[in-house]
Amino acid sequence: MTTYSDNAIQIYNRLYCLESESSIEQVHDRVAKAIANNDEEYKVFKWLLDDKIFRPNSPCLMNAGLRFRESHKNNLCACFVYGIEDNMLSITNFWKTAALVYSSGGGIGTHIGELREEGSAISSGGYSSGPISFAKVIQYISEAVKSGGRTRRAANLLSMIYNHPDILKFISVKSKEKLSAANISVLVDNNFFSALETDSYINLISPNGKTVVGKIKAREIWNKICEEAWKTGDPGLLFYDAMNRVNPLVDSNPIVSTNPCGEIPLPGFFACNLGSINLNHIVEDESKFEEFIKWAVIFLNNVIDKSGYPHVKFRANMLKYRPIGLGIMGFADYLARKGIPYDESADIFAKLCKKLTQTAFMLSIELAKTRNPIELTSNEKKRMYDILEYYELPKEEIDKFDKYGIYNLFVTCIAPTGSISISADCSYAFEPYFAIIWDKKLHDGRKMTFIVDPFKKYLDEISKDTGISKDKIINDIIEHKGSIQNIEYIPRNIKEIFKCALDISPIDKIKIQAAGQRYITMGISSTCNLPNSATVQDIENIYLTAYSYNLKGITVFRDGCLNEQVVYYGSKEKSADKSIISIPKERPMIRHGKTVEVKTPKGTLYLTGNFNEENELIEVFIQLGKQDSLTSILLNTLGRVLSRSLQCGVPIQVYIDTMMNIPHDPFWVKIDPNQERSLQVRSIVDLIAKILQYHYTNEDINLDEIDKFDICPQCNNRTLTRTLGCRGGTCINCGYSNCS
């Protein structure tokens, strides 16, 4: 079997190996046997997996071959779109279904714009509490039912159409409510942009009877969207007309929402099982691509038949319409090996996506010859005919569709490929590199240096031509945050080939994404990452550009836009005098000090420190939350322990060094009113250490220092990058992404 990196082995051990499995090959054997229908398929599937050519989505690798008593736990799909209706049975079924999806490792999206607005009358008497209140329940369920039974919070996307009476409340929900468990997106169409262009009013239409209940300027909605996206990263936009342009079911089941990461725009009660082909394997021989696509399509179709589902409507639609989501990964590797700059890759990306979709559709038509084709009405079949023409299938293939039908309604999408990319030792999806070289701190405290594989030969070349040691080059690149663009001695042609995510403008990234989206039947997951200095106008320009380029959706993330979402931090190695004086120092009757008040997701933290006449810190008081709560009691006790130790002469730095970077539940705060960017802390204890150091010692913390990585909520390492995939970030250590 092909050699695997330590990173890939860790991913398998952490996510995919069962207790009875001790090797990657055993995982692949289990999955291939479970998905194959015959010996030939088993051998091919195992080869695709062993040689890192193809990966299905994580739930398939985790659950294939297992048999649970509860059918939903046999889930092999990653993404679900629920079709919610404006009645309590549908709403409560949504909550139940969402919990089942989370427990099996999946994520869920739904359009809550079907729910009547707050204050609208209900049939049993009284008034509706509105869609926002129902959405809050998802927050509690997500926190209680961790995704796949692991420590990460479950993934959700909630969408609402722009003319809902509660649209302004929805747009600002992330800044006014603690709705951290869901991404939100506003559904907009061509009519909205026409009203925006002409500065016209929008009629607000109640889902309760479809009556007009008010009006608002399109510009007011638009400004609110851009302002809130600047503040919180939400809402994103979903473009109704682009999503439904290639939806054969648009008349009966239009697409109004997506999965949490946005690559799966699907009608309600549809799921999608995802798979990705590693482009590293076609660099030398692109003719292999068609063979890989063929077997991947067969694999994903088998998954549909063998998966469990959290709701009978999902099962019915999946077996009737058979959507599959075949995509790619390793695109940055592919370009680098061919010596092609990422920001000049739009045509190449479009060509690969075109080949992917055309080949998948042609095989789907071929499968329809011997299997039952999907059932389409005459109008749906006509739309499907037009869709195949839109994707530029040869006429003879379209004629075959006319004769035999087709086996899959949708065939392609490009997902973030977090953990599966690491498992296959390749770059993420179609994304550029987040860094060329980076350091990663391991669990045992050691650091390892990682270099993207295609750069290794250039590293030797640079060292030979310049006479600079490879160690020096590596250290220089790490000092430049993994980018080589500002290192003078590196040749321009190499800089062009190896541009990182933050070296590429958001508009250029949109153009590349749009070139591929033209030939992808569902969507492409990607987020525009912006510097903290980006303006509301910048976000407006990005959203308008995405619309003009016919993307199906768009999201942005501005560094520092949320106290809970930012990548800035500072750290220094500290040493302290650990000598202890056992005789307690006296505390004067009148003591001077200061109180620091910091707002956290857990409540407002108050830390008071008092000094003696020698300006020595001699006591600390800590308060958070209700006085009789367990957290408050523990922190009050910590303050007493610190105070007693300080009075006995233990330097505060001893405790700061002990508490600093203790992991638990990371979040982002500001500990100085003049601080431009938020500081990421790993826990309440870590926050207390940083407050003590910043406000009560002479040791400094650089509050504005930028780093590539956030703290991963799953493995608690500082290895989460937001420059890749969906807006929730992707961990280069454990493969975590908020998109299941």
CB atoms closer than 10 angstroms to residue 320: 12
Cite the DSSP H helix spans in 124-166.
Answer: 131-144
User: Active-site residue among 183, 247, 259, 733?
Assistant: 259
Cite the DSSP H helix spans in 104-130.
Answer: none
Q: Which of 69, 73, 200 shows the shortest CA–CA distance to 148?
A: 73
For residue 87, CA distances in Å to 110, 122, 156, 207, 400 come to 15, 9, 21, 11, 44
Give the integer Cα–Cα distance in Å for 177 and 36.
47
Contact 661, 682 (CB under 8 A): yes
Domain ranges in the chain?
80-263, 592-705
Angle subtended by helix axes 630-647 and 684-696, to nearest 10: 40
3 state SS for 366-412: HHHHHCCCCCCCHHHHHHHHHHHHHCCCCHHHHHHHHHHCCCCCCCE
CA dihedral 481, 487, 490, 493 (to 10 degrees): 80
Tokens linked to 370? 């011997």
pLDDT tens track for 587-610: 888 889 999 999 888 889 999 999
Q: Which of 89, 88, 139, 130 shows the shortest CA–CA distance to 112?
A: 130
Q: Kindly give, in sequence order, each residue whose CB lies less than 8 Å from that of residue 198, ignoring residues fewer than 6 positions away.
A: none
Annotated active-site residue 738? The verdict is no
Contact 84, 111 (CB under 8 A): yes
Q: What CATH fold (topology level) applies to the domain 80-263?
A: Anaerobic Ribonucleotide-triphosphate Reductase Large Chain (3.20.70)
Contact 196, 190 (CB under 8 A): no
Cite the DSSP H helix spans in 214-345.
Answer: 218-232, 240-244, 288-306, 312-321, 331-338
Contact 293, 356 (CB under 8 A): yes
Residue 584 pLDDT:
66
DSSP state, residue 14: I
Q: Kindly give, in sequence order, each residue whose CB lies less than 8 Å from that of residue 260, ignoring residues fewer than 6 positions away.
A: 79, 107, 108, 109, 155, 156, 157, 182, 183, 726, 728, 738, 739, 740
- State yes or no: cis peptide before 207, omega within 30 of 0: no
Say which residue the tokens 């500082």 belong to: 718
pLDDT tens track for 497-511: 999 988 999 999 999
Tokens linked to 41? 């398929």
Annotated active-site residue 619? The verdict is no
Q: Which of 608, 620, 615, 676 shows the shortest CA–CA distance to 644?
A: 620
Say which residue the tokens 């299997």 belong to: 371
Give the integer Cα–Cα distance in Å for 369 and 322.
15
Q: Which of 125, 127, 222, 140 shows the shortest CA–CA distance to 177?
A: 140
3 state SS for 504-562: CCHHHHHHHHHHHHCCCCCCECCCEEECCCCCHHHHHHHHHHHHHCCCCEECEEECCCE
Q: Are strands 156-161 and 212-217 parallel, antiparallel or unpaired?
A: unpaired
Give the integer Cα–Cα distance in Å for 449 and 433.
15
Annotated active-site residue 550? The verdict is no
Angle at 541 between CA 538 and CA 545, to 5 degrees: 140
Give the integer Cα–Cα distance in Å for 571 and 174.
30
CB atoms closer than 10 angstroms to residue 84: 22
DSSP state, residue 431: P
Which stretches of the chain drop beneath a pLDDT of 50?
148-151, 563-582, 706
SS3 content of the chain, % helix, strand, coil (to 5): 40, 15, 40
Contact 650, 588 (CB under 8 A): no
| Termini Cα distance of the chain | 28
Read off the pTM.
0.81
Say which residue the tokens 């049975």 belong to: 89
Give the integer Cα–Cα distance in Å for 475 and 463.
13
DSSP state, residue 12: I
User: Active-site residue among 17, 77, 79, 261?
Assistant: 261
DSSP state, residue 16: I
DSSP state, residue 116: P
User: Active-site residue among 114, 117, 263, 431?
Assistant: 263
Give the integer Cα–Cα distance in Å for 212 and 219.
19
Q: Are strands 447-451 and 324-329 parallel, antiparallel or unpaired?
A: unpaired
Tokens linked to 305? 């038949």
Give the integer Cα–Cα distance in Å for 389 and 407.
17
Angle at 525 between CA 520 and CA 527, to 5 degrees: 135
Give the integer Cα–Cα distance in Å for 724 and 529.
9
